[in-house]
Amino acid sequence: MSGQPTLSGNRGLQIEEKLIFEMDNPGSVAVDLPEPGPIDLDRMGGVARRGRIGLPDLSEPQVVRHFTRLSQKNYGIDSGFYPLGSCTMKHNPRLSEKMARLPGLADLHPLQPQKTVQGALEVIDSLAFWLKELTGLPAIAMSPAAGAHGEWCGLMAIRAAHEDRGEGHRRRMLVPESAHGTNPASAAMCGFTVDPIPAKDNGRVDLDAMKAKLGPDVAGLMLTNPNTCGLFESEIIEIAAAIHGAGGYFYCDGANFNAIVGRVRVADLGIDCMHINLHKTFSTPHGGGGPGAGPTVLSAALAPYAPVPYVVHGPQGLELVEGAREGAKPFGRVKGFHGQFGVFVRALAYIASMGADGLRQASGDAVLNANYLQASLSDALTASFDGPCMHEALFDDRFLKDTGVTTLDFAKALIDEGYHPMTMYFPLVVHGALLMEPTETESRETLDQFIAVVKGLAGRAKAGAAEDFKAAPRLTPRRRLDETLAARAPVLRWKAST
């Protein structure tokens, strides 16, 4: 391919789209209204607008085309395979979307009197019931708005519990090296110092190294299970016993719950507290910054410190508790109103439509699909750890050794092939990581097509096509961006050139 730009700047039917402000065509309107009569400006208290407010003038077809084209630039789970590891990019059933749009749920106001929203409170209460049932933990904070927010909420409960029994000096939080970046960040935001625990050669937490770090200042441990290498922490019972023995609490990052839902009750593993990313495991749409939801389940020891609000069964029906209550010592509030209600509706619809057998099958199929990828790609790429994986397959860049191609180049070449890349360079415990999570919703045909493309690219890289890889992606509206510059000097505001 020559890479020559076209006359128009368009690439085939991918149209080079301007900002809507750059398309301003003064005088164009999308509606045809009669000229208004004289307006009594006095009644505006002197605040009437005198000039233009700077919105672009456009016709209806211009507006429709603009937003349609923008929507087509978006690659999502509805466009194709999205093997982004750690993100559980599964299909979002249309049934759940339909439920979330029911006017009786979608048109509520968060300040309506409670007696007029008993159905909505029942949605929150039923979802809370099922999340407690699936994890075996007795209490839940529904309001955190994301996984990271749930981590923070759980750690705040742990901190409050320590302070309440006069052990506020416990401020050291143990976090494995392979943890998602949000874990140390949440711990630091709660005022804990983060103490990393190394992994063993088999990708699991080093139990002896963890035990060596226990002491009277340890507040707890944050562990992801299955961990971010896609492996089940086989010594988790011993880990729980050790942290409890040292007077600490056991936080579990539940982002990978999709691998074990319906099969393992996290309470049975000795976990005190875990957030659940509804937007991952329970299939509500995510990406592009939101909205998600990170309800956090809590053990009996942490339950009194759960933040408000929460739903209880009262004499008049369901009640939303917004303040202190007998026996409870909420550490505060983490979110305006009640949490991400639209996400709750979708997650409950998903759970109800799947049923217990469906959820069990989903986790089984997710693990099967990941193992199919791992087994099929093991001779072309280099799997980081021996043995089967859970719901995601981790490879590293040893297969690219001496080819001049990096993990980044490889991912960019996949974009030209029509695939969203896998997660790259995470987790940090292996070199040049490629983390693939197919989820249960992909068919064998999709996986086989993807496997053929990845194998083909690996073959090309080994055959000495480094130049081609460095030039990828060639077919996208933009090619390689200066991501450092974009992060350091972002241009967030359009200014008129005249």
Ligand X SMILES: *Cc1c(COP(=O)(O)O)cnc(C)c1O
**Beta carbon of residue 335, minimum distance to ligand X (angstroms, whole number):** 13
Q: Which helix (H) or strand (E) holds 221?
A: strand 218-224
Give the residue with the Cβ less far from ligand X, 229 or 461.
229
**Beta carbon of residue 44, minimum distance to ligand X (angstroms, whole number):** 44
Give the residue with the Cβ less far from ligand X, 150 or 330.
150
As a whole number of angstroms, the distance between CA 102 and CA 124 comes to 16
Closest CA to 417 of 463, 458, 370, 467: 458
> What residues make contact with ligand X under the rule CB under 6 A?
86, 146-148, 180, 182, 224, 228, 253, 255, 277, 292, 294
Give the residue with the Cβ less far from ligand X, 403 or 423.
423
**Beta carbon of residue 46, minimum distance to ligand X (angstroms, whole number):** 46
**Beta carbon of residue 340, minimum distance to ligand X (angstroms, whole number):** 11
**Beta carbon of residue 152, minimum distance to ligand X (angstroms, whole number):** 10
For residue 370, the number of C-alpha atoms closer than 13 Å in the C-beta half-sphere is 34
Is the CB of residue 272 less than 8 Å from the CB of residue 296? no
Closest CA to 270 of 257, 296, 297, 252: 252
Is the CB of residue 177 less than 8 Å from the CB of residue 229? no
Is the CB of residue 247 less than 8 Å from the CB of residue 216? yes
**Beta carbon of residue 293, minimum distance to ligand X (angstroms, whole number):** 8
Give the residue with the Cβ less far from ligand X, 178 or 371.
178
Please give the C-alpha separations between residue 22 and each of 67, 135, 145, 497, in angstroms, as whole numbers.
14, 52, 35, 9
**Beta carbon of residue 124, minimum distance to ligand X (angstroms, whole number):** 19
Give the residue with the Cβ less far from ligand X, 88 or 299.
88
Give the residue with the Cβ less far from ligand X, 58 or 274.
274
Is the CB of residue 301 less than 8 Å from the CB of residue 272? yes
Tokens 């742990």 -> residue: 158
Please give the C-alpha separations between residue 305 and each of 188, 222, 252, 276, 463, in angstroms, as whole numbers.
20, 18, 17, 18, 59
Q: Name the token pair of 241.
A: 């016993």
Give the residue with the Cβ less far from ligand X, 149 or 162.
149
Angle at CA of residue 364, ends 341 and 358, nearest 5°: 50
Give the residue with the Cβ less far from ligand X, 233 or 409.
233
The burial class, CB within 10 Å (0-12 / 13-18 / 19+), for 402 is exposed
**Beta carbon of residue 190, minimum distance to ligand X (angstroms, whole number):** 15
